[in-house]
C-alpha cells in the first residue's frame, strides 16, 4: 500500500515535471524573443545634458518605434532593441568605466560619447574589446587608422565651420571674425580649428583667445572684450546648450549687430526662450528635422520623441541618424555582425542604405575617406540653418565629402 | 572702462545676493551648504514654471521661489541635517550630507525639469547708454531689486527680534537657549531663510540670465569662494565677497586672457587666505 502510494506520488511528480518542462520548452520556442542590447554612452547630466541626455532619449524613442513594429529583422531572426544608457558626466574616467560597464554587459554597439576627451578615453576600451562606437567628437585620431572601432556620428566642426564662414563671406560680407569658447579642451580645440579654417579662407581673425569658465552666468564681461575688437561675426566654438542662449542675449544687449554662429547641435526653441528676438538670425549646423526638408517619417519620429519625453529637442534630429544607420548596417551585414564587429566594419565600405528622414530621401552611407582615410563617418547631411522665432530655417544643405 | 565697471557692479550685486543665503546657514548651523547652487537652480525653475508655464506674473513666481525653496530648506534641516548633527559631531559629515543632497537635487531636477536651458520673458526692455557703456533696463531692475532685498535682509537680521535671536544663536547657542529662545524652531527657520534666499536669487537672476539643471555646482563653488573672501558667516562679508569676486571677474576678463582670469582669481584668494584665513570681515557675527 505504502509502496503503491510512493509510486503514484513519484509518477505524479514525473508528470508534473514533464508537463512543466514541456511547457517551458514549447513556450520558449513559440514565444522566443531575441533582444539586441545597444549602448548609449555620453554626458547626460550637467550643462552638457542637452547632448548626451538627448542622445539617450533619441535612441530609446527610435528603439520604441522599432519594437512597436515587432522588432528589427536581422537575418532570419527578429530582435527587440534594448537601449542601455550610461552617463559619463563628461568625465574621461567616467567614459572609460562606462564603456567597460557596457562591454561587460555584452554590448557590442554604442552610440557616443559626446566630447573629444571622453571619446578618446573610451577609445582604449572600444579598440581592446572590439566594440563599435559612434562618438560625437571631432578628434581625427578616433577615426584614422590604426583606430578602427569609432565612427563619427555627425559633421565635424572643421568640416562645417569653413562652409559657414564662406557662406557668410559671400552672402553677408563678413570680413572680420572672432571666436569665443569655454575654457575646456574640446571647445578650445574646436576654436583653434575654426580659427585656422577662417584664416585659410582669408578672413581677419580679430579675437580667438577669449574663453569663459564653465558655469559662467553673466557673459557681459567676456563679450565686452570680444565685441571691443569689432568683429563682423562671432563664432561660439563648441558652445554647450546651456550657454548658447545667454551668450547670444548678452552679445545683442552689448550692442553687437553682426552675425553669430556655432558648429554644434542646438535646439532653437531653447535658444529663443532665453534670448528672445535676439536669437533671430543665429546660425547653427544641425540635423534634418526642419520643416522644409523633413520627411513624413521624421515627423513620426518627432511625434514619438515628444510623446516619450514631453518636448521635442532639435538635436534629436541629428542623433537619430546614429541608431538608424547602425541597425540598417547590421541588417545588411547579417547576423554574424551582432557578435563580431569585424563583420560590421567590413560592411562599412560598400554599405548604402536609405535616408528616411529627408523629404527628398537619399542615401545613408559611411564617408570620411577624405578626412580619415577610411569610411568612419555617417553621411549626415550638412544642414546649415538659422533661428527664426524659435524655429530653424535652413540656409543651405550640403553633402560631406566621400 | 565704464562698461567694465558697470559689469562689475551687476556681477557683484548678483553674487552678493547669491552669497547671503549660504553665509546665513553657515553662521547658524556651521554647515557649508554645498547644495546652495542646486537650490538656486530650483528657484530659477520655480519662477520659470509660474511665469512661463502657468502664465502667472514674474513677481508672483519670485515670491513663490522664496517660499518653495525656503520650505524645502526647512525640510532639509528637519529631516536631514538635524538628525545627523544630533548623532555626529564631525563637521565633514554635514559637508558630505550637503554634497549628497546637491547630487540628489541635481539628478532629480534633470528628471523633473529636463535637459533644456530655460528663460523667462524680459521683465523690462530697452538699453540705457552711460557714456560709452550699455546697461539693459532688465539688469537695472534686477540690481535695484537685489539691493532692496539685501537691505531688507540686513534690516531683518539687525532690527527684528527673530533676526537678533539668529545672531545670538550664531554667537553662542547655549546662551541663546538659556534666554528662552526655541533653538529648534530658530534653526529650521534660519536654514529655510538661507535656502529661500538661494531660491530668490535663482528666481530673480533667471530674468537676465537663464537656468538649467546643471547650473548648481558652479554657483555653489562661487558662493563658497565669496564667503571665504568676505568672511564665512558674516552678512556684510558675503556682500563684500560678492562684490570683490564680481570686480575681479569683470576686470580680469577685460585685462587678461580669458583662460587666466579665474586662475589668477584663485591665486589671489589662496594668497589672501594665507594672510587672513577668516576673510575680510573675520569671524561670524562675533
CA angle B140, B257, B218 (to 5 degrees): 55
pLDDT at A249: 93
Chain A residue closest to B138 (CA)? A253
Out of A50, A215, A254, name the one closest to residue B215 (CB): A215
Most confident by average pLDDT, A204-218, B44-58, B161-175, B228-242: B44-58
- Chain B residues whose CB is inside 8 A of the A180 CB are 258
A26: contact with B, CB 8 A cutoff: no
pLDDT tens for B116-150 read 889 999 888 888 888 888 889 988 999 999 999 99
pLDDT tens for B1-16 read 788 888 888 889 989 9
Q: Do A212 and B258 touch (CB under 8 A)?
A: yes
- Choose among A151, A241, A168, A165: nearest CA to A196: A165
In CATH, A34-154+294-380 is 3.40.1160.10: no
Mutate to test the interface with A, among B201, B205, B258 (most CBs of A within 10 A): B258
pLDDT at B234: 84
> Closest approach of chain A CAs to the CA of B49, in angstroms?
13
CB A337 within 8 A of CB A330: yes
Out of A50, A183, A212, name the one closest to residue B115 (CB): A50
pLDDT at A375: 96
Out of B14, B117, B261, name the one closest to residue A274 (CB): B117
- Choose among A60, A382, A208, B122: nearest CA to A52: A60
Query: Predicted confidence band at B273 (pLDDT cuts at 50, 70, 90)?
Result: confident
Segments making up each domain of chain A, as ranges: 34-154+294-380, 157-264
pLDDT tens for B164-203 read 999 898 888 889 889 888 888 999 999 999 999 999 999 9
CB A217 within 8 A of CB A240: no
pLDDT at A41: 97
pLDDT at B286: 43
Mutate to test the interface with A, among B47, B127, B212 (most CBs of A within 10 A): B212
- Chain B residues whose CB is inside 8 A of the A254 CB are 3, 134
Q: Do B118 and A313 touch (CB under 8 A)?
A: no
pLDDT at B11: 87
Which H helix or E strand runs over A378? strand A377-378
CA angle B95, B100, B102 (to 5 degrees): 95
Helix A92-104 × helix A116-129 angle, to 10°: 30
A296: contact with B, CB 8 A cutoff: no
The percentage of chain B sitting over the pLDDT mark of 90, rounded to a whole number, equals 47
**DSSP track, B199-222:** HHHHHHHTTTS-B-TT-HHHHHHH
Mutate to test the interface with B, among A188, A218, A275 (most CBs of B within 10 A): A218
Q: Do B7 and A224 touch (CB under 8 A)?
A: yes
Q: Do B7 and A217 touch (CB under 8 A)?
A: no
Q: What cell numbers appear for B142 in the block? A: 534686477
CB contacts < 8 A, A to B, total: 138
CB A371 within 8 A of CB A309: no
CB B84 within 8 A of CB B222: no
- Chain B residues whose CB is inside 8 A of the A246 CB are 117, 209-210
Q: Do B258 and A224 touch (CB under 8 A)?
A: no
Out of A50, A210, A214, name the one closest to residue B218 (CB): A214
Q: What cell numbers appear for B195 in the block? A: 535656502
Q: What cell numbers appear for A51 in the block? A: 547632448
pLDDT at A214: 86
- Chain A residues whose CB is inside 8 A of the B219 CB are 215, 217
Interface of A with B in 306-335 (CB under 8 A): 309-311, 313
pTM value is 0.82
Q: What cell numbers appear for A167 in the block? A: 557662406
Fold category of A157-264 in CATH: Rossmann fold (3.40.50)
Q: What cell numbers appear for B20 in the block? A: 547671503
Q: State residue B43 phi and psi, 5-degree precision.
A: -60, -40
> Closest approach of chain B CAs to the CA of A207, in angstroms?
11
A270: contact with B, CB 8 A cutoff: yes
CA distance A201 to A196: 9
Strands (E), A119-168: 132-134
Q: What is the pLDDT along chain A (402 residues), one digit of tens a residue?
A: 444 444 444 445 444 445 444 444 444 444 456 899 999 999 998 878 888 999 999 999 999 999 999 999 999 899 999 999 999 999 999 999 999 999 999 999 999 999 999 999 999 999 999 999 999 999 999 999 999 999 999 999 888 899 999 999 999 999 999 999 999 888 999 999 999 999 999 999 999 999 998 888 889 889 998 999 999 999 999 898 889 999 999 999 999 999 999 988 788 888 999 999 999 999 998 766 777 788 999 999 999 999 999 989 888 998 999 999 999 999 999 999 999 999 999 999 999 999 999 888 888 999 999 999 999 999 988 889 999 999 888 888 888 888
CA distance A286 to B91: 49
CA distance B75 to B177: 22
> Closest approach of chain B CAs to the CA of A18, in angstroms?
48
CA distance B69 to A51: 28
Q: What cell numbers appear for A26 in the block? A: 514549447
pLDDT at A32: 56
Q: Do B14 and A50 touch (CB under 8 A)?
A: no
Sign of CA dihedral B6, B9, B11, B17: negative
Amino acid at each position: 500500500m505504502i509502496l503503491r502510494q510512493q509510486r503514484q506520488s513519484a509518477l505524479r511528480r514525473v508528470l508534473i515535471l514533464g508537463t512543466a518542462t514541456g511547457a517551458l520548452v514549447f513556450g520558449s520556442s513559440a514565444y522566443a524573443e531575441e533582444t539586441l542590447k545597444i549602448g548609449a554612452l555620453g554626458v547626460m547630466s550637467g550643462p552638457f545634458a542637452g547632448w548626451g541626455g538627448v542622445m539617450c532619449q533619441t535612441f530609446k524613442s527610435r528603439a520604441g518605434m522599432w519594437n512597436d513594429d515587432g522588432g528589427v529583422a536581422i537575418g532570419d531572426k527578429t530582435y527587440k532593441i534594448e537601449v542601455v544608457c550610461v552617463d559619463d558626466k563628461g568625465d574621461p574616467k567616467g567614459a572609460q568605466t562606462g564603456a567597460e560597464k557596457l562591454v561587460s554587459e555584452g554590448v557590442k554597439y554604442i552610440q557616443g560619447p559626446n566630447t573629444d576627451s571622453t571619446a578618446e578615453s573610451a577609445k582604449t576600451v572600444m579598440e581592446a574589446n572590439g566594440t563599435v562606437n559612434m562618438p560625437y567628437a571631432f578628434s581625427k585620431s578616433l577615426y584614422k587608422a590604426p583606430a578602427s572601432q569609432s565612427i563619427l556620428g555627425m559633421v565635424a566642426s572643421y568640416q562645417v565651420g569653413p562652409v559657414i564662414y564662406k557662406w557668410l563671406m559671400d552672402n553677408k560680407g563678413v570680413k572680420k571674425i572672432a571666436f569665443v569658447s569655454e575654457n575646456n579642451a574640446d571647445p578650445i580645440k574646436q576654436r583653434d580649428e575654426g580659427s585656422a579654417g577662417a584664416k585659410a579662407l582669408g578672413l581677419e581673425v580679430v579675437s580667438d583667445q577669449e574663453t569663459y569658465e564653465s558655469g559662467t552666468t553673466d557673459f557681459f564681461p567676456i563679450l565686452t572684450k570680444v565685441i571691443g575688437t569689432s568683429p563682423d561675426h562671432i563664432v561660439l566654438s563648441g558652445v554647450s546648450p546651456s550657454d548658447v542662449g545667454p551668450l547670444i542675449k548678452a552679445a545683442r544687449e552689448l550692442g553687437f549687430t553682426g552675425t553669430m554662429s556655432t558648429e554644434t547641435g542646438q535646439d532653437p526653441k531653447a535658444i529663443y526662450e532665453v534670448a528672445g528676438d535676439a536669437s533671430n538670425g543665429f546660425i547653427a549646423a544641425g540635423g534634418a528635422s526642419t520643416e522644409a526638408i523633413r520627411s513624413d517619417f521624421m515627423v513620426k519620429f518627432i511625434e514619438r520623441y515628444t510623446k516619450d519625453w514631453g518636448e521635442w529637442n532639435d538635436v534629436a534630429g541629428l542623433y537619430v541618424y546614429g541608431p538608424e544607420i547602425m541597425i540598417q548596417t547590421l541588417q545588411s551585414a547579417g547576423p554574424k555582425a551582432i557578435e563580431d564587429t569585424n563583420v560590421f566594419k567590413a560592411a562599412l565600405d560598400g554599405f548604402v542604405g536609405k535616408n528616411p528622414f529627408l523629404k527628398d530621401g537619399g542615401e545613408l552611407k559611411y564617408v570620411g575617406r577624405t578626412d580619415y582615410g577610411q569610411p568612419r563617418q555617417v553621411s549626415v547631411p550638412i544642414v546649415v540653418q538659422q533661428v527664426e522665432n524659435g524655429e530653424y530655417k535652413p540656409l543651405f544643405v550640403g553633402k560631406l565629402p566621400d | 572702462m565704464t562698461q567694465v565697471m558697470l559689469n562689475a557692479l551687476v556681477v557683484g550685486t548678483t553674487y552678493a545676493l547669491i552669497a547671503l543665503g549660504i553665509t546665513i546657514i553657515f553662521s547658524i548651523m556651521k554647515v557649508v551648504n554645498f547644495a546652495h547652487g542646486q537650490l538656486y537652480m530650483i528657484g530659477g525653475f520655480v519662477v520659470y514654471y509660474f511665469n512661463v508655464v502657468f502664465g502667472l506674473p514674474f513677481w508672483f513666481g519670485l515670491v513663490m521661489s522664496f517660499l518653495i525653496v525656503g520650505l524645502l530648506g526647512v525640510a532639509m534641516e528637519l529631516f536631514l541635517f538635524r538628525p545627523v548633527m544630533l548623532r555626529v559631531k564631525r563637521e565633514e559629515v554635514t559637508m558630505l550630507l550637503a554634497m549628497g543632497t546637491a547630487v540628489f537635487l541635481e539628478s532629480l531636477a534633470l528628471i523633473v525639469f529636463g535637459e533644456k536651458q530655460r528663460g523667462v520673458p524680459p521683465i523690462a526692455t530697452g538699453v540705457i547708454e552711460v557714456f560709452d557703456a550699455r546697461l539693459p533696463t532688465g539688469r537695472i531692475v534686477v540690481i535695484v531689486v537685489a539691493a532692496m532685498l539685501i537691505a531688507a535682509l540686513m534690516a531683518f537680521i539687525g532690527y527684528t527680534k527673530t533676526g537678533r535671536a539668529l545672531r545670538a544663536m550664531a554667537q553662542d547657542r547655549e546662551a541663546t537657549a538659556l534666554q528662552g529662545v526655541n533653538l529648534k524652531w530658530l534653526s529650521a527657520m534660519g536654514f529655510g531663510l538661507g535656502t529661500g534666499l538661494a531660491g530668490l536669487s535663482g528666481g530673480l537672476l533667471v530674468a537676465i540670465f537663464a537656468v538649467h539643471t546643471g547650473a548648481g555646482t558652479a554657483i555653489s563653488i562661487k558662493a563658497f569662494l565669496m564667503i571665504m573672501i568676505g568672511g564665512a558667516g558674516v552678512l556684510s562679508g558675503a556682500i563684500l565677497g560678492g562684490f570683490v569676486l564680481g570686480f575681479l571677474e569683470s576686470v580680469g576678463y577685460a585685462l587678461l586672457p580669458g583662460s587666466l582670469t579665474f586662475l589668477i582669481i584663485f591665486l589671489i584668494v589662496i594668497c589672501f587666505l594665507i594672510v587672513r584665513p577668516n576673510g575680510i570681515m573675520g569671524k561670524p557675527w562675533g
